[in-house]
Structure 1
Amino acid sequence: MHESLIKHINNYTSIPLRESEVELIKNTFAPKKIKKKQYLLQEGQVCKYSAFVVKGAMRQYNVDDKGVEHIVRLSIENWWAADRESFVMLTPSVYNIDAWEDTEMLLITKPDSLALLNQIPVLIEWVRKLDEHHAFAAQKRLSASISFSAEKRYSDFATTYPEFLQRFPQHMIASYLGITKESLSRIRHQAAKK
């Protein structure tokens, strides 16, 4: 189960992990399986774990006063699932994170992640690159949400994350894009005609 995490780390570092470092990582990340619709995190809880998705699909969302879900993150294999603010600041989360498919993941706590960074210096490079990618993606998504038409947002999403279209239902993709499922249906119908 840990092999995909090791490969993921090595893809982001200039120096491959040594065998002793691989063993330390394997001993630190705890495997966990959850069923579809089971929660990793519920609103009001402190996010105690950052989860590396080995197999499956997850969503991070909040629910407004009218009961409408607003999806802020979708995660599949080799993606991370966590409320970063709650995880780092140890504050109650405003999000829910649940499995959309039966999911296998590797969990790490904040204290364990800090200990690993001290014990395996190359992981600092890995975390820095992950943070850069996260910041770039967040900036791109914010820019798209305030500047692009719904059609352009969907087109960019479909181009950037084509595998998500196969893994998540239309209403979740619409929520992630900040549009109604009816609008998404219309956009997809028009795109299919082209």
Structure 2
Amino acid sequence: MNNIPFLEYINKYISLSVEDETILLSKIVQRNYLKDQYISQQGDICKSVNFIISGGTKTFYMDKDGQEHIVMFSIEDWWTSDLGSFITQTPADFNVQCIENTQLIQFTYDNLEELYKEIPKLECLFRKIVERAFVASQKRIVRNFSLPVKERYIEFKNKYPQIEQRVPQYMIASYLGVTKEFLSKIKSQIIQNQ
């Protein structure tokens, strides 16, 4: 697997020496998952934080009626995990499942803790990643409470066009909190108004 996209991503935020890169690469696990495979499952302790080299995932909660509630999609150069479970090492609230064949770079909890000691600036990088994830999550909550579904869909489509093209409509509907039929109706209205 090619580590260059990962190192390019890291070097956008912090500069690593050749020695730092060697240490970093020695602590990662590279994995390939098939479409529909789970990276982590609700109720299990999330064992890794994952950087996507290629492919995509969905993070979702399965309610007691078997209904899927998608909270996030992740694609190339994004991170995916049940972060709450990973950080606290307690049972996960969410499933992380591949929506395409996916190549990942994974960090286990222990490896990440060791890396923080060996390359202290990585702790700063991961703090920034977690902060950005937290802010994005809060903004999404506010949008879900304050915007009509049509506006939420338009925002999703404009902000994540590459995801909208790769993800089935029923998953986007789940992400928006509506049925696929309702989303289809909204899309028809948008086309008619153009």
Q: TM-score, normalised by structure 1?
A: 0.94
Equivalent position of 1:10 in the other structure: 11
Moved over 2 A (4+): none
Equivalent position of 2:183 in the other structure: 184
What is the alpha-carbon distance in structure 1 between the residues aligned to residue 38 and residue 134 of structure 2? 26
Equivalent position of 2:135 in the other structure: 136
The offset of 1:113, in angstroms, is: 0.7
Equivalent position of 1:45 in the other structure: 44
Read off the aligned partner of 1:34 and give its amino acid letter.
Answer: Y
Equivalent position of 1:118 in the other structure: 117
What is the alpha-carbon distance in structure 1 between the residues aligned to residue 17 and residue 126 of structure 2? 17
CA displacement 1:107-150 (0-9 Å, x = unmatched): 11111111111211221331232122212211210110111000
8 A Cα contact 1:47 1:82, kept in partner = yes
8 A Cα contact 1:53 1:76, kept in partner = yes
Equivalent position of 1:68 in the other structure: 67
Given the superposition, is the C-alpha separation of residues 113 and 37 from structure 1 closer, same or farther in structure 2, using an over 3 Å criterion?
A: same
Read off the aligned partner of 2:151 and give its amino acid letter.
Answer: K
Give the aligned length. 192
What is the alpha-carbon distance in structure 1 between the residues aligned to residue 133 and residue 70 of structure 2? 16
Read off the aligned partner of 2:7 and give its amino acid letter.
Answer: I
The offset of 1:185, in angstroms, is: 0.8
What is the alpha-carbon distance in structure 1 between the residues aligned to residue 190 and residue 119 of structure 2? 48
8 A Cα contact 1:12 1:125, kept in partner = no
What is the alpha-carbon distance in structure 1 between the residues aligned to residue 11 and residue 188 of structure 2? 41
Gaps of 5+ in 1: none
Gaps of 5+ in 2: none
Read off the aligned partner of 1:10 and give its amino acid letter.
Answer: N
Equivalent position of 2:166 in the other structure: 167
What is the alpha-carbon distance in structure 2 between the residues aligned to residue 11 and residue 136 of structure 1? 20
The offset of 1:94, in angstroms, is: 2.3
The offset of 1:166, in angstroms, is: 1.0
Calculate percent identity across the aligned residue pairs: 35
The offset of 1:10, in angstroms, is: 1.2
8 A Cα contact 1:48 1:109, kept in partner = yes
Question: Structure 1 stretch 126-135 or stretch 95-104: which is displaced more?
Answer: 126-135
